[in-house]
A and B are shown apart, each in its own frame.
Chain A
Amino acid sequence: MLPENIDDLFRDGLDGHATPPDPALWARLAEATDAAGAPPAAEDARLDELFRAGLAAHATPPGRHLWERLEDEHLRPPRRRRAAAWWPQALAAALALLLVAGGAGLLWRYAAGSRPGPEVAARAGAPGLRSAATAQSAAGPLRPNKTGETTRQNAVAPAAAGGPKDALATAAAPATAAPQVAQAATSQAPPRTARAAKTASLAAAENIFSRRATRSVVPASSGSSATKRAAVSTSVAAQPGPARSGAPDPLAPAPRGAKLPDAGALAVAPAPVAAPASAVAVIEVEVRRGSAAPAPVAAVAAADAFSDDDDRPVGRRVLGGLLRQARHVVRGERVSLAEATGLPENLTLQANLGSRTLTHTIRF
């Protein structure tokens, strides 16, 4: 048979012939189609809608730290970030430095004031001051007794060192140690009251700048509770002495050796015994511990307690106070400058200008 005939044979035999498939083949084909991941379009749309609707408007609250991180790491310059991170420590360090500097300053002023000076030396209490007063009294002509040492020392010191313009004056202070001061200045004159008045009058006439620092020792003799008093007069009042001034002062022995440069001049100067109150202008400044005017006894007791409670040196006490306050800072407790420095919490300044009285309270 020719090859052309063979081709015709198969073409004629198979062309148009259909072989029926196995029924299982369709089932396998359907299973293969499902396994290929082609679910109906409606189910796809339903699934997509489920997720789209469930998540489209959903908001997950971010953590609080995220904004801070975003701001610190990306939005703000690094300089600000460093400042924000370090400012609490810097503030604490500055406060501590300020506290130490303030305490040191107060200590320095405290120590400087304990040297011979009329105002601060009159301060009662501190051991350092007491020793300064003792040294001064040993060098000076006066030999004070135990209670009046500071008063007399300060009374004499300016007069001896200041020259003729630095005269003692008996200002308008009611009693206190004014008569004693007058006696110390004019020494041997028997009528103390008259001499004190004369001295005051002279000072007033010459418009002498006078200064007096004294401490009220006897409560009954003082009208105030001042632990320190500094009376500055431009024109000294010639107010006569108090009730006590006529009697000999048991606390103020006559300073036999005290010779002030202008004592004689003061003594011989003619002056009225008493001048009218309206003719004088007195500025009297009192410094009190505490905010109110306490009873004199209480004030003295407080001053004594202040001086006797702690016998440590001033430096050690102040240092201890500073360390205590530093501990308070660390613990976040209240810081007291008064406690740190050993000073009273309140000081009251009272200025008497004639009939007017000005009072100011300083809180440490």
Chain B
Amino acid sequence: MPLPFSTLSAVTEADLIAACQRGEPRAQRLLYERLAGLMLTVCRRYLKRREDAEEALLLGFAQMFRALPTYRGEGSFEGWVRRIMVNRALMELRRKEPLTLSFDDFAQPENLATAPATADTQLQADDLLALLAELPPGYRTVFNLYALEGYGHQEIAELLGISEGTSKSQLSKARALLQRRVGQAAAVAY
């Protein structure tokens, strides 16, 4: 039975998912509107250019709608969608910004000097996204996966096709670089 139009705004996530699994266009639109903003931020964390992030979002949603009939309701639906988006963003990243070429760059001492971020550093989300975008792709990817998505080094290594040691090294260097730049950005902000 199609979702009544008047109740679209109050429909539960389970009903919405069920309607999307039946292929109802209005439910698909509603699900897109609920998740697209969050998922675009996820894609922007991995991809430097907004156009690339939007392309990843588009392909990720298409993949999600195709895979929706196989969703069994185990775990968070948003987490399930997020994983799809992360994978799609990584695929897009490999196409747009070759990952392997950047793993060994940026290891200059002047880039690694640290200026610790203070606890009360107030940076807006767009500032943080800009800081991430300035990171080399390898640093950015490992930092995102480890610090923000909660992946372990072994998972990251499998996902990116690198060793665990490389993952740890990239994370360490990414943190050092971010500490320094967050400090600079906070100093400019104040």
Q: Is the CB of A46 within 8 A of B119?
A: yes
Instruction: Check B112 against A50 for contact (C-beta < 8 Å).
Output: no
Size bracket, chain A contacts: 20 to 34
Complex alpha-carbon distance, A36 and B169, angstroms: 9
Chain A residues contacting B25 (CB-CB under 8 Å) are 71, 75-76
Assess A60 versus B37: contact at CB under 8 Å? Given A34-B114, A75-B28: yes
Segment at the interface with B among A37-45, A88-96, A285-293: A37-45
The answer to whether A59 touches B37, judged by C-beta atoms less than 8 angstroms apart, is yes
Contacts of A50 in B (CB 8 A): 117, 121, 123, 128, 182
SS class of chain B's interface: helix, strand, loop or mixed?
Answer: helix
Measured CA separation A76–B65 after assembly (Å): 12
Max chain B Cβ within 10 angstroms of own Cβ: one of A34, A58, A74:
A58
Stretch among A61-69, A165-173, A344-352 lining the B interface: A61-69
B173 at the interface (CB under 8 A from A): yes
A70 to B: closest C-beta gap in Å: 6
A67 to chain B, nearest CB (A): 6
Cβ A55 vs Cβ B45 within 8 A:
yes
Using known A-B contacts A47-B182, A66-B36, determine if residue A55 contacts B116 with beta carbons closer than 8 Å.
no
The answer to whether B57 and A62 touch across the interface, beta carbons within 8 angstroms, is: yes
> How many B residues have CB within 8 A of the partner chain?
43
For residue A356, CB closer than 8 A to chain B, the reply is no
**Cβ of A46: which chain B residues have Cβ within 8 Å of it?**
116-117, 119
* B21, CB-defined interface residue at 8 Å: no
Chain B residues near A51 (CB, 8 Å)?
Answer: 128, 132, 143, 147-148, 178
Within the complex, the shortest CB–CB distance from A69 to chain B, in Å, comes to 6
Most chain B CB neighbours (cut-off 10 Å) among A47, A57, A60, A75? A60
CB distance from B109 to the nearest CB of A (A): 6
Q: Which residues does chain B contribute within 8 Å of A43, judged by CB atoms?
A: 116-117, 179
| CB closest residue in chain A, given B59 | A74
- The reply to whether the CB of B129 lies closer than 8 angstroms to some CB of chain A is yes
Shortest Cβ distance from B77 into chain A, in angstroms?
Answer: 16
- The contact string, 1 if C-beta is below 8 Å from chain B, for chain A 70-81, is 110111100000
B150-182 toward A: CB 8 Å interface, digit per residue (1/0)? 000000000000000000010011011011001
Question: Which residues in A have their C-beta under 8 angstroms from that of B117?
Answer: 43, 46-47, 50
Minimal beta-carbon separation of B10 from chain A (angstroms): 20
Partner of B125, one of A38, A55, A73, A76: A55
Tell yes or no: A52 within 8 A of B by CB: yes
A3 interface hit (Cβ, 8 Å) = no
Of all chain B residues, which has the CB nearest A40? B116
Cβ–Cβ < 8 Å partners of A69 in chain B: 58
B-side residues, CB < 8 A to A, are: 25, 28-29, 32-33, 36-38, 40-41, 44-45, 53-54, 57-58, 61-62, 65, 109, 112, 114, 116-117, 119, 121, 123-125, 128-129, 132, 143, 147-148, 169, 172-173, 175-176, 178-179, 182
A interface residue numbers (CB < 8 A to B)? 34-39, 43-44, 46-48, 50-52, 54-63, 66-67, 69-71, 73-76
